[in-house]
Every structure is written in structure tokens, then in C-alpha cells.
A = this chain, B = another copy of it.
Amino acid sequence: MTVMADYQAADYPPFAVTVDLVVLTIREDELCALVIKRGEAPYRNRWALAGGFVRPSEGLDEAARRELAEETGLTLDSVHLEQLASYGAPDRDPRMRVVTVAYLALAPDLPVPLAGTDAVAAKWEPVAQLLTEPAHLAFDHHRILTDGLERARAKLEYTPFATAFCPPEFTVAQLRRVYELVWGQRIDPRNFHRKVTGVNGLLAPTGDTTGGDGGRPAALFRRGDATVLRPPMLRG
């Protein structure tokens, strides 16, 4: 049996481990992702996903929450956060060997983020813009964003995921707009209303209605306690 020093030098090649965040929200009727402008090399002054190194004493989820709070200045009670996937191609970071654990975060409309310590700027960017130009984002972040978006699209089908984009109280129309924007397709309002109100445990009526914005007032709902959607909301 070798001693500890040999372990670290020989048997356990050292890696850096980071978390990267695909933070999605809906602003001004568009699906947006959080991007930050890097202040350090490599990819200095390029846009990238929020993220940072995992600290020695914290777990992965914990690191993701911390980075999210740092980059958005946000109480995360209302933010859904889940692990997405890990990326560790040997050449994905020119400095050294880095494995990143990507997380997917969904949030209701948030204030404009402030630049943090590692970033010179931060903003919400429509994902449509980001996807058109793969080289727009640093590292392999375009791939991570693509994977996160696909995960979000899939999860809208069989989880109450979409409610994470909404404020605590919302209307059926707001929820429908979430589906339309994430899926990128129009949905019939009448069939959607029937389906979504029929799923057990998805919506809890508050009894209140919205003040009219030109049409009939809509009933307000809160998120129900369902964790899976039965039946699921399937894309065409």
C-alpha cells in the first residue's frame, strides 16, 4: 500500500471540478438564458454561462446554489434547480483538466442580474439569439445550453416544470405561454385549458381572478403538489 502523497501524485490524477448553470427565465415574452461576460482568461470578454469552481468542503448541489445566488443575487426558494449532466472532454479548458457538472435552473421573471466577482457583465439573452451562433459562448457552453434546453422541453411534458417559470399565482394563459415559448409552437387555448385543469394536483385554485386587461378576468392558480403529470402534456 502506498502512502497518501503517492496517491495524489500518481493514482489520482488531479482534476478541477466546476459547476455551470443554465438559468432559464421568461422575460418580455421571450425565453432567456443568463449569460455573463468573463473578466478573466481564457475567453476573456466572451459570453459564457454562470459557474465556478466547487469548493473543497461543499457538495455539487450546494456549489450550484451558491453560484446561482452569487450571480443573480437571488433567494432561491422560488427557483427550481436540478443537475443536468457532466462534461469533461480533455481539451474543454485550455488551462488544465476541468470537469464541469452542469445544472439547469428555472426561474420566474427576475431582475436584471448584476455582474459578480468573476464577471464584468451579466444579462438575460434570448435563447434564440444564443442558439443561432454556436461560437457565441465560451468553452462548450453552447452544447450545455442546447442540452439544458432540450431537458427543459422534455420535462415540460411530464412534470409541473412549467410552473417554475411563473410567479406564485398565475393564470392558465400564463402557463400556456410558457409552454409555447419553450416548445416554440402555438397551442390551442381551449384544449390546453381542458388538459391542464384536468391533470390531478397540477393546479390549485386560489379563488381570485385577475383584473381584466381587456378581456374576461382569468382565474388564478397556485402550483399544486403533483410531482408527475398524469396524463402528461405531450407535444404534437
Contact = CB atoms under 8 A, between A and B. Distances in A.
Interface residues of A, number: 33
Contacts of A41: 1
Contact of A101 (B8, B53, B54, B99): B99
A59 B8 CA distance: 20
The main secondary structure of chain A at its interface with chain B is: loop
Interface in A1-39: 1, 4, 7-8, 11-17
Interface in A80-115: 83, 85-90, 95-97, 99, 101
A95 B1 CA distance: 13
A13 B55 contact: yes
Contacts of A1: 40-41
Contact of A56 (B86, B97, B101): B97
Nearest to A82: B85
A199 to B, nearest CB: 15
A60 interface: yes
B86 A86 contact: yes
Given A59-B89, A99-B99, A15 B13 contact: no
B88 A59 contact: yes
Given A7-B96, A96-B7, A54 B13 contact: yes
Contact of A99 (B13, B60, B96): B60
Q: Which 9 pairs of residues, A with B, have the shortest CB-CB distance? A: A14-B14, A60-B88, A12-B16, A15-B17, A13-B56, A86-B86, A86-B101, A59-B89, A15-B15
Given A13-B54, A17-B99, A58-B90, 20 more contacts: A4-B95, A8-B14, A11-B53, A12-B16, A13-B53, A13-B56, A15-B16, A15-B17, A15-B99, A17-B88, A56-B90, A56-B97, A59-B88, A59-B89, A60-B99, A83-B86, A85-B85, A86-B86, A86-B101, A88-B101
